[in-house]
Amino acid sequence: MASAGWSIEKRAPLRTDTFSRDNENVPETGCLSIVVLGASGDLAKKKTFPALFHLYRQGFLKPDEVHIFGYARTKISDEELRSRIHGYLTPCKGASTEHTEDVLKFLQLIKYVSGSYDTEEGFRSLDSAISEHEISKNSAGGSSRRLFYFALPPSVYPSVSKMIKNCCMNKSDRGGWTRIVVEKPFGKDLASAEELSSQIGELFDEPQIYRIDHYLGKELVQNMLVLRFANRFFLPLWNRDNIANVQIVFREDFGTEGRGGYFDEYGIIRDIMQNHLLQVLCLVAMEKPVSLKPEHIRDEKVKVLQSVVPIKDEEVVLGQYVGYTDDSTVPDNSSTPTFATVILRLHNERWEGVPFILKAGKALNSRKAEIRVQFKDVPGDIFRCQKQGRNEFVIRLQPPEAIYMKLTVKQPGLEMSTVQSELDLSYGQRYQGVVIPEAYERLILDTIRGDQQHFVRRDELKAAWEIFTPLLHRIEDGEFKLIPYKPGSRGPAEADELLERAGYVQTHGYIWIPPTL
């Protein structure tokens, strides 16, 4: 007969490659090799290499321990690659001609290897080059760190992952590691995303995979958790009892500009909404995590995504700007939306009944990205000032970076009249002389440190695609009409009508003006 007493079995700790207090005692003493795959492409030249240079200038990449390798099919020399990159490093942020020496020193850290993405020959050469660097730095066996950045189209992710696994892994586990960074798009729908995840997941463990969404590296996106959970006056207000609606907006004042062929394959929902805006929504709506450990934060984000109810057709407006198909790379009969407004609704205790309005578009009348939290009307309004507009909390992600609160105040003078004004934290004024890091700088540094907080986990990716895949398939089946709109406009008028039906109250006559220095 079993004993009536209770016994507690201690669980073995989860092995993780993610940075935390628990593994700080594992020293990372080996040299660091950063491999930029697709080194001759636009993404590498315009984003990846400049981000690495800024990290180098700020002392996060030590010249005595780091080496950078470019890999691509193009047959060029080390000097030719350096020459291609050079123009994107100068002038850099806050730089002058005095930084020329830094640029030249950084370029000397770059070596180029040419090879295909689906055969072992090139990757064997790459491994030899990395090993030669590790030996030259007297890096202890197994302590070396290898980071592979996929500045590549997703179609070659599986073959490149296989080649890295077969040819280029760090040889043992003595404090060293091998990590891969993959860029969006992570598939085109749920099925393709799951297939891609499975192909990569068969070769690498989840802690080795960093799915990068550069929006999560933006300064004010990273500020969301601090604003929400470190300030007492937000805690009791952040719920359906006080908030009428939340808008997350991305607007560009230009069209496809040479990216028509790529954009037409994906559209505004896949390009912006399903990833960037949905990630921001998670940070706005999530519950407080039990700690700042990456997995605790990502657990709460997944819960938000799983609480989103199916999108209603009547809460979607799609548009295409006039002249989009004039691009020679875009089909004349393209049904790809360049504008979308979609309302998401969360089925949970905090947000039941609050519409989350996601809006993204190209060729509009302004360029900005912002989060706009609109509060409900003041009950018993004795000043009769509701027509002026509601209280709003606005986080301007770009440009310029700012946080401000719209509120009603007394108009200066002898009369008791009210006006809308703001409490304003404009970063350019408040943090003069402080250079705000680019998103890619922050995220690459997080990858080197092993911090996955700002990267997309596999179950998070799946939950995101589950939200939008049915809508995307209905669009492709022709079930939605694209509304034409003029370039330089606000987009389709039907989008404003949808916002009004959702309960958003637009403020007329108020314009936020960034303060001057």
71 vs 96, which has greater pLDDT? 71
| Interacting residues of 254 by C-beta distance below 8 A, sequence separation 6+ | 362, 363, 367
What is the residue-wise DSSP string for 249-284? Answer: EEE-SS--TT-HHHHHHHHHIIIIIIIIIHHHHHHH
Query: Mean of the pLDDT values across residues 79-103?
Result: 77
- Can you tell me the distance from the alpha carbon of 107 to that of 111, in angstroms, rounded to the nearest whole number? 9
* Cα angle 295-301-302, degrees, rounded to a multiple of 5: 90
Kindly report the three-state secondary structure assignment for every residue of 161-193.
Answer: HHHHHHHCCCCCCCCCEEEEEEECCCCCCHHHH
Above 70 in pLDDT, residue 29?
no
Query: Mean of the pLDDT values across residues 267-279?
Result: 94
pLDDT in tens, 387-422: 677 889 999 888 788 888 887 777 777 777 777 767
Q: Looking at residue 517, what is its pLDDT?
A: 53
What is this structure's pTM?
A: 0.87
Q: Looking at residue 106, what is its pLDDT?
A: 92
173 pLDDT band, cuts 50/70/90, is low
Tell me the three state secondary structure of residue 503.
coil
Tell me the three state secondary structure of residue 199.
helix
pLDDT in tens, 419-471: 776 777 676 667 676 677 788 999 999 999 999 999 999 999 999 999 999 99
Above 60 in pLDDT, residue 14?
no
What is the residue-wise DSSP string for 287-319? Answer: PPPSSS-HHHHHHHHHHHHHTBPPPPGGGEEEE
98 pLDDT band, cuts 50/70/90, is low
21 pLDDT band, cuts 50/70/90, is very low
166 pLDDT band, cuts 50/70/90, is very high
Residue 37 near residue 149, CB atoms below 8 Å? yes
174 pLDDT band, cuts 50/70/90, is low
Q: Looking at residue 144, what is its pLDDT?
A: 86
- What is the per-residue burial (b if ≥16 Cβ within 10 Å, else e) of 501-512? ebebbeeeeeeb
Query: Mean of the pLDDT values across residues 94-109?
Result: 78
* Cα angle 181-281-458, degrees, rounded to a multiple of 5: 35
Q: Looking at residue 389, what is its pLDDT?
A: 76
Both structure tokens of 142: 């197994």
Q: Tell me the percentage of the chain whose pLDDT exceeds 70.
A: 87
pLDDT in tens, 353-365: 999 999 999 999 9
pLDDT in tens, 37-78: 999 888 999 999 999 999 998 899 988 889 999 999 999 999
Both structure tokens of 341: 């407004």
Which range (18-22, 188-192, 208-212, 439-443) has the least confidence?
18-22
- Can you tell me the distance from the alpha carbon of 111 to that of 266, in angstroms, rounded to the nearest whole number? 34
45 DSSP 8-state letter: I
- What is the per-residue burial (b if ≥16 Cβ within 10 Å, else e) of 231-258? eeeeeeebeeeebbbbbbbbbbeebbee
131 vs 5, which has greater pLDDT? 131
- Can you tell me the distance from the alpha carbon of 311 to that of 344, in angstroms, rounded to the nearest whole number? 6
221 pLDDT band, cuts 50/70/90, is confident
| Interacting residues of 329 by C-beta distance below 8 A, sequence separation 6+ | 260, 261, 264
Above 60 in pLDDT, residue 131?
yes
pLDDT in tens, 227-269: 899 889 889 999 999 999 999 999 999 998 777 888 998 999 9
Query: Mean of the pLDDT values across residues 290-313?
Result: 95
- Can you tell me the distance from the alpha carbon of 289 to that of 135, in angstroms, rounded to the nearest whole number? 43
Tell me the three state secondary structure of residue 381.
coil
8 pLDDT band, cuts 50/70/90, is very low
Residue 212 near residue 183, CB atoms below 8 Å? yes
- Asked about 54 being catalytic, the answer comes back as no
Strand 355-361 vs strand 339-345: parallel, antiparallel, or unpaired?
antiparallel
Report the mean per-residue pLDDT for the chain: 86
Which range (91-105, 175-189, 453-467) has the least confidence?
91-105
The radius of gyration computed from the CA coordinates of the chain, to the nearest angstrom, equals 25
Task: Find the catalytic residue in 276, 347, 473, 508.
Answer: 276
Which range (264-273, 277-286, 362-371, 421-430) has the least confidence?
421-430
Above 70 in pLDDT, residue 4?
no
Torsion of CA 102, 104, 105, 108, to 10 degrees: 150
Q: Looking at residue 515, what is its pLDDT?
A: 67
